Structure 1
Amino acid sequence: MERFVLFPGRHHLLTRFQAEYLRGLGGTVVWAVTSANHQNTKRNPVPYDRREAAIERFSVHEGLRSLVVPVFDTVRTDRFAGVTLKSVESGLGLRLTPADTVVACSTPEVAAMYEALGFEIAGVEADRDPAPARPWDVLLMLAAGDPAWRELAHPATLDVFDRYRLDEQVRLVVNDPVVGEEGGLTTTRDYRTYAEAFEASAERKWELVRRHVRPGRIVDVGCGAGAVLGLADREPALRESDLIGVEVARHLYEECVHRKAQGWFTNPNVYFYCRNVLGGAVFPARSIDTTLTFALTHEIWSYGQRMDSLRKFAAAIYEHTVPGGVWINSDVCGPDGRDLPVRLSLQGAPKEPVPLDGLARDEIAAHVEGLSTRARLDRFAADFHFPLPFEEHGDSVELALGDAMEFLTHKDYPDNWLSEAHEQFCGLEFADWKALLTDVGFEVDGASHVWRNNWIVDNRIAPVATLSAVDGAPMDWPVTHVLLVARRPLNT
């Protein structure tokens, strides 16, 4: 009877100890590579094809007979062992049983799942005392810049990492201060509703920017599910252009790839990358004609290091833009004079915010939905990741104009309440933007302007709020958005 060693794991990095241990077990090694559909995230920085290449090279180097099968990521489940065995059977036509298979696994919780199915467990690193460094520990040594990782990693990993410069990618992804473990900016966002909202506004966004787009290589950074690029794809004037989408959120990137595979785009030169531009250059210097960003820069400001992160982002865009090329940025914007003290009268009464710890997203949404506008201010001030001080003045509150607009433009997002509370919409006003772009090297086109979303004002703000100066004089609602058209000078 042929003997098998089932070796489940993410296998981003292979070690010299693993080689020694597997040689001692004997039999055909079945590498079940989990999270095979994930890449470019803190939890899964290395794509599956590179992991598979290293495993095959490892097997040849060590004289092992190996079979490799991808296992797609699943939600956390106590049936993980069964899912993996079914993936092996589906992918390889091989039904592994306790009679012919030992499971190599050093994670006690996972090993217990296979034990419950009757499999013998080989503990790998857990079998040794002291335990040698596990592969993930070695990968973290790489990310931390410790050269000792090369002494522990197997030559097959070193070869693949060196040829494909994966060590640089791992460092960038694992050390990224902005992106979370799953590749998005936040774990509290409902990407379904987020994508639906972006899709609904795509035509308006495209109409706002299309006349400023320069043909050639066109990049949409933070492209969501690719809706704006889909509209660009239909423009006759751009039929010879390359259309490139960059998206950091894995859920949205995967939808872009799916749409391309389904023939959603007619232009054959449509490409998508799952990347974080803040993590390093995505494109060579002076290689992009038009960069588009929609509702992105306030997220970089909010989840990063404020102006430092935004300046780094703007500099990266400038660097990859050809002389004469353009960066078109559409986003929320703070009002002019955002520190001006104002009075805000709101519907309803104050209410002490209760803790939200342990509540599911839909429970939080229902709670926020049930609050009056005035009570939502108390809730928002408690949850907002930035200071939002205000003082009671009879039937109104006194606060800075920018803070007033932060609340009024956030208050109608209960479905993504905690995610939205992490984002500052009014961090910069128009003058700040012009100063930043000029300082980086761009020329600010005269088409750049601020504007007010009157639909939001008429339907969401004005019916429940009144704005006035501290002396009681009525005030008009300020601007809410900005369009920036920034060009790299031809002589650079």
Structure 2
Amino acid sequence: MYLLLPGRHHLLTRYQKEYLLQLVKNGLSEALDVFGNRLLVSKHPTAIIFAVTSANHNNTRRNPLSLYQRAMMIQDFSRELSIPSFVIPIDDIGQSPNFASYILKKIEVETELKLKLTKDNTIVLCSTPVANLYLELGFKVLPVEKVPGPKLAFYAKLPWEELESIVSKRNKSLQNSQQSNSEFQIGQTNKIQPNQTNDDFKNLDPACLRLWKDYGLFEKVDMLFSDTLIGDDGDLTESRDYNTYVREMDEIAELKFQETKPFVQPGRIGDIGCAVGSWIKLVCQDPKYFESDFYGVEIARHLYQICEQRKDNGEFVNPNVFFLRKNAVSGLVYQPLSMNTIHTSSLTHEIESYGGRSQLLAFLKNRYEELVMGGVWINRDVVGPKDKEREVFVWMEEESGTNQGLGPESFPSLKEFLDSLSTKDRFFQFKHDFRKEEGYVLRTSPVSVDGIEYHRMKLKDICEYISKKDYTDNWESEMHESFCFWSLDDWKQYLESIGFKISNFSMDYRNEWLIKNRYEGKIKLFISNKSNPTKFSDFIPYDFPVTHMLMLAEK
């Protein structure tokens, strides 16, 4: 007769060991089932099957241990039981009424059909409502920690309750010790916290305690359960219209999700510069990430408050969604070696624009430090063209303007003034305004060819203009932002220099909607093999270059 013990098995207790020992020693006949009735099974247990659920998840609050750590602990735990034990990994399938039957089929497959568990040859051991799924299949169920019968009472804490109790005591002990000893660090490996005694671990089985101490797992759950990241920093820019900004972020959330979804690794998932949490909301709806923890980081007070309100409204289906108000530029926002996935979107160009190159490089190194080995940083942002220093000749339409030579002071708002300008006239306003405070000088020279005026400039400069020319409601903010400082190759070169491996799925690409709706008919680009073209035949049409990138940097 087989004993099936399904569960996450992140922690094993003395009570569980004693319960199993009694079944092995005394048999099953007198054991009381979940209803309080004697089992009356004459056969003795011949093997114990530990079905390790959520085996494909680790590094989260719900699943702190990896499969191999759980398997080692179970094998050590089983040595005293005198009958064979089997560890069978069960991957997560989310909430399913067929979960019990899935486990049975998975055990059969994982053991190459050697273990076929049926209601006639297996007794299930389960103290949670999952027991009902096995009862529906006709299995007999032993309640382990639960008192038999309808009363919700227990002889001992469930393993997960033991873990939460230990974490709670460690956190209180840490807080007390930090007040009296500023030199104490939470990262001291294999250390019992000050004021914490062995009595706090008395309910853990020795095999469990050995593994947790040897692998520093108490320190790991300290990190997973702690929340010390909330900061109080200002915004990157004071000239942003947040009503427009929030609306735009929500509108493109689905695009971001679909583009990045194939590369998100389960576990601890961070979204730095999360805006109003739209990307996290979409990812945590995917059943693949039900066991993951999500950490959104947002520096802007207004956006952070929206994230918190959305969480209060219950808009996130995963309860383990946390929002942190923290400046990700100045240092680490997550613990080193703690994150499976870090996502950023439209952020790195802002760091370059407002903080400068030194802060961008620091930001990149910090993300490398925060990832676990094998983790991925997904960076979706604008990007510069490969030949950004190339000289191009630009034609700009000049018929759409309604301005009669009036300056900004003649209009109720800067937006209305800018909207009155043709593409060509708006370019000259851009040339005057673009990164003026940062000291940037955009150099152009007019060239007349067949009676038509073109303007000679660097490719990166015209790309900066066409990427911003239609954002007249946030013009002052946009004039600080540099999009084309690095090409995709520049990004790859630097990220590889600090240890990242760049996935072959990384790419730069054109946003064809922008090309069709914003660029065509407004701007034409040409190159020439002649230094001073004099006729139209001297020009070679030049396609609009890439506008965005998806960078997948793996540690």
Equivalence map 1:20-419=2 (5 Å) = 183-306=234-357, 308-348=358-398, 363-385=413-435, 386-394=440-448, 395-419=453-477
The answer for the alignment partner of 1:123 in structure 2 is: none
Query: What code does the residue aligned with 1:345 have?
Result: W
Check conservation: 1:353, 1:382, Cα contact below 8 A: no
Check conservation: 2:330, 2:359, Cα contact below 8 A: no
Q: Shift of residue 424 of structure 1?
A: 0.6
Q: Shift of residue 355 of structure 1?
A: 7.2
Residue 472, structure 1, aligned to residue 539, structure 2: yes
Whole-Å Cα distance in 1 between the matches of residues 366 and 521 of structure 2?
42
Check conservation: 2:239, 2:476, Cα contact below 8 A: yes
Whole-Å Cα distance in 2 between the matches of residues 420 and 400 of structure 1?
19
Residue 421, structure 1, aligned to residue 479, structure 2: yes
Q: Secondary structure at the match of 1:473?
A: strand
Check conservation: 2:346, 2:382, Cα contact below 8 A: yes
Whole-Å Cα distance in 1 between the matches of residues 507 and 387 of structure 2?
16
Q: Secondary structure at the match of 2:516?
A: helix
Q: Shift of residue 436 of structure 1?
A: 1.2
Query: What code does the residue aligned with 2:324 have?
Result: Y
Residue 451, structure 1, aligned to residue 509, structure 2: yes
Whole-Å Cα distance in 2 between the matches of residues 409 and 278 of structure 1?
25
Whole-Å Cα distance in 1 between the matches of residues 337 and 516 of structure 2?
43
The answer for the alignment partner of 1:32 in structure 2 is: none
Q: Secondary structure at the match of 1:318?
A: helix
Q: Secondary structure at the match of 2:337?
A: coil
Whole-Å Cα distance in 1 between the matches of residues 544 and 491 of structure 2?
21
Q: Shift of residue 430 of structure 1?
A: 0.9
Q: Shift of residue 401 of structure 1?
A: 0.6
Query: What code does the residue aligned with 2:510 have?
Result: R
Unaligned runs of 5+ in 2: 1-178, 186-229, 529-537
Whole-Å Cα distance in 2 between the matches of residues 421 and 230 of structure 1?
31
Query: What code does the residue aligned with 2:366 have?
Result: A
Whole-Å Cα distance in 2 between the matches of residues 352 and 403 of structure 1?
27
Whole-Å Cα distance in 1 between the matches of residues 504 and 554 of structure 2?
11
Q: Shift of residue 387 of structure 1?
A: 2.6
Deviations 1:36-83, CA, capped at 9 Å, x for gaps: xxxxxxxxxxxxxxxxxxxxxxxxxxxxxxxxxxxxxxxxxxxxxxxx
Query: What code does the residue aligned with 2:458 have?
Result: A
Residue 483, structure 1, aligned to residue 537, structure 2: no
Whole-Å Cα distance in 2 between the matches of residues 378 and 233 of structure 1?
45
Unaligned runs of 5+ in 1: 1-158, 166-171
Deviations 1:317-374, CA, capped at 9 Å, x for gaps: 00000000000001000011100000110011799998768x99x7111111111000
Whole-Å Cα distance in 2 between the matches of residues 463 and 441 of structure 1?
44
Using the size of structure 1 for normalisation, the TM-score is 0.61
Whole-Å Cα distance in 2 between the matches of residues 443 and 299 of structure 1?
24
Q: Shift of residue 382 of structure 1?
A: 1.0
Q: Secondary structure at the match of 2:329?
A: helix
Whole-Å Cα distance in 2 between the matches of residues 487 and 396 of structure 1?
44
Q: Which runs of 4+ in 1 moved over 2 A?
A: 349-357
Aligned-pair identity (%): 38
Check conservation: 1:353, 1:378, Cα contact below 8 A: no
Check conservation: 1:311, 1:440, Cα contact below 8 A: no
Whole-Å Cα distance in 2 between the matches of residues 243 and 484 of structure 1?
21
Deviations 1:194-239, CA, capped at 9 Å, x for gaps: 1110110000111001010100000000000000000011100000
Check conservation: 1:219, 1:290, Cα contact below 8 A: yes
Query: What code does the residue aligned with 1:346 have?
Result: M
Q: Secondary structure at the match of 1:277?
A: coil
Whole-Å Cα distance in 2 between the matches of residues 487 and 353 of structure 1?
53
Check conservation: 2:346, 2:380, Cα contact below 8 A: yes
Size of the alignment, in residue pairs? 315
Check conservation: 1:222, 1:293, Cα contact below 8 A: yes
Whole-Å Cα distance in 2 between the matches of residues 353 and 454 of structure 1?
34
Whole-Å Cα distance in 2 between the matches of residues 439 and 327 of structure 1?
15
